[in-house]
Amino acid sequence: MKVADNLAQIQENIRQSCSNVGRSETDINIIGVTKYVTINRAKEALGAGVKNLGENRMEGFLKKYDEIGNDATWHFIGSLQSRKVKEIIANVDYIHSLDRKSLAKEINKRADRPISCFVQVNVSGEESKHGLSKEEVPSFIEKMANYPNVKVVGLMTMAPFLDDEAILRGIFRELRQLRDQIQAENWDYAPCDYLSMGMSNDYQIAVEEGATHIRIGSELVGPYDE
Ligand SMILES: *Cc1c(COP(=O)(O)O)cnc(C)c1O
């Protein structure tokens, strides 16, 4: 499949989900997750009109960035070791995996400008998932006042890999409620306008529940065996 055809289908699905709940599809940012594909496939995605690219490992991020540079907006979506921050910080536009103070401290130290970060939340409580528990999030974000180069633009979650729509919807809704709670604090360093949630198998539900950034790999740039 061409990326352009996949993208057209995804955009159609987004339009449908938006219309179900009275949202505008211009509020949805598609992040093309290119971690499993070649640089050429990533370039094909850009050519098809995908503006945001996401990578989950430092090596993949740097390889793609080297070739593509500022033709894309760059999202780091994977868990990030503190010692790798300095490798990506100059070129990253958004970090989706802020989940601990030591990482905030390192971002703050290495960045020469405020970095847009999503705080990763483990809404489902699955042990295998990274992220803060919901209960930890407000006090964690409050502490980000100490790190002027960390700007909390939103919350991110990875839902469990299931096809139980009610459970997924509940998880996305909880993230949205938490976002609303943080927004109400009016912390200037944490506008928290965004929700990074939804992947290939669940983005339509995420959009209905308020996602602003959906991270799509396989449905957009797959299948991977081409
Ligand atoms: C791989 C990945 C995605 C995309 O997954 P697909 O199911 O292929 O859409 C989204 N978010 C994160 C954090 C990922 O690691």
Which contiguous run of DSSP H or E holds residue 55? strand 52-55
For the Cβ of 79 lying below 6 angstroms from any atom of ligand 1, the answer is no
pTM: 0.97
185 alpha carbon to ligand 1 midpoint, in Å?
A: 30
Residue 225 has pLDDT above 80, yes or no: no
For the chain, state the CA radius of gyration.
17
Which residue, 107, 77, 103, 74, is CA-closest to 91? 74
Amino acid in the structure at residue 223: P
Would you say residue 153 lies in a domain? yes
Residue 167 pLDDT level (bands cut at 50, 70, 90): very high
- Domain extent, residue 46, equals 3-216
Note the pLDDT tens digit of each residue in 60-80: 999 999 999 999 999 999 999
Tens-place pLDDT, residues 180-198: 999 999 999 999 999 999 9
Number of domains in the chain: 1
Ligand 1 closest atom vs CA 200: 9
- 42-62: pLDDT as tens digits: 999 999 999 999 999 999 999
User: Is residue 217 within 6 Å of ligand 1 at its C-beta?
Assistant: yes
> Is residue 224 situated within a structural domain?
no
42 within domain boundaries: yes
Residue 22 scores a pLDDT above 70: yes
Does residue 225 lie in a domain region? no
CATH number at residue 93: 3.20.20.10
**Cα gap 188→34, rounded to integer Å:** 33
Q: Whose CA is closest to atom 11 on ligand 1?
A: 215
The pLDDT of residue 185 is 98
Burial 161-197 (b: 16+ CB within 10 A, else e): eeeeeeebbebbebbbebbeebeeeeeebbebebbbb
Tell me if 215 CB under 6 Å of ligand 1.
yes
